[in-house]
Amino acid sequence: MRVYYLLFALLFLFLLPVPGNGGIISGLQRYYCRRRSGQCALIGCLTNEEQIGRCSLSGRICCRKKK
């Protein structure tokens, strides 16, 4: 029974966001951006690109070339 408490504590620590890293959610957003043939932009998309989503919770934008 004590093993469950230990596993829960380790899982909780693993899922905590790390400062500067962005955590699991930002990693998934970057993955899906690349999966949709996009790239992460810090300021904004270029004129020949369109916004298709976000890359992180801090405001990075996912852009890809217009079709």
Cα–Cα distances in angstroms (integers) from residue 32 to residues 12, 36, 40, in the given order = 24, 6, 11
For the chain, list the domains and their CATH numbers.
Answer: 24-67 (3.10.360.10)
39: left (phi over 0), alpha (psi -120 to 50) or beta: beta
Instruction: Tally the C-alpha atoms within 13 A of residue 37's C-alpha that lie toward its C-beta.
Output: 6
pTM: 0.60
What pLDDT does 50 receive? 92
pLDDT digits (tens, 9 = 90+) for 14-63: 776 666 555 677 778 888 888 999 998 888 888 999 999 888 777 789 99
What pLDDT does 23 receive? 67
4 has a pLDDT exceeding 90? no
1 has a pLDDT exceeding 90? no
